[in-house]
Structure 1
Amino acid sequence: MARKDLKNRVPIGSAIDKELYQWLKEYSNQSSVPISKLLDKAIQLLKESTVK
């Protein structure tokens, strides 16, 4: 069931490589950018590189 307090976002569940997650968490802490925003950016870059 979707969270009603999220208006412009969709919660997802996924499993990723442990080392990638550790790097992502550390980068998020160092840069003060939330992991969800970093994932948004990564998905956007993937989309731009694959959709013509």
Structure 2
Amino acid sequence: MKTKLKNRQYFSSTLRNDLVSELDQLHKDTGIPKSKLLDQAVELLLKHHQRRIKGCY
């Protein structure tokens, strides 16, 4: 049974193998959870495409 989350949603997708390896290494080097790194990546992508997003840091 999945834990109910207040501020997050489960999301499933796939990434290229090389991107997964780089994400894993970035996580190990920084200690930042992968979910937070992916949040940052999506925010940057949305900014790049000039979308308004809430709570952007």
TM-score range, shorter chain: 0.7 to 0.9
Percent identical? 32
The one-letter code matched in structure 2 to 1:32 is: G
TM-score, normalising length: structure 1: 0.85
- Given the alignment of the two structures, is residue 34 of structure 1 paired with residue 14 of structure 2, yes or no? no
Instruction: Output one character per residue of 1:16-43: Cα deviation in whole Å (capped at 9) or x when no partner.
Output: 1011101101110110000100000010
Count residues with an aligned counterpart.
50
Residue aligning to 1:6: 5
The structure with the greater share of residues assigned to helix is 1
Shift of 1:49: 1.1
Shift of 1:51: 1.7
Once superposed, what is the RMSD of the aligned Cα atoms? 1.3
Structure 2 regions of 5+ residues with no counterpart?
Answer: 52-57
Q: Which runs of 4+ in 1 moved over 3 A?
A: none
Within 2, Cα distance between the matches of 1:4 and 1:22?
A: 27
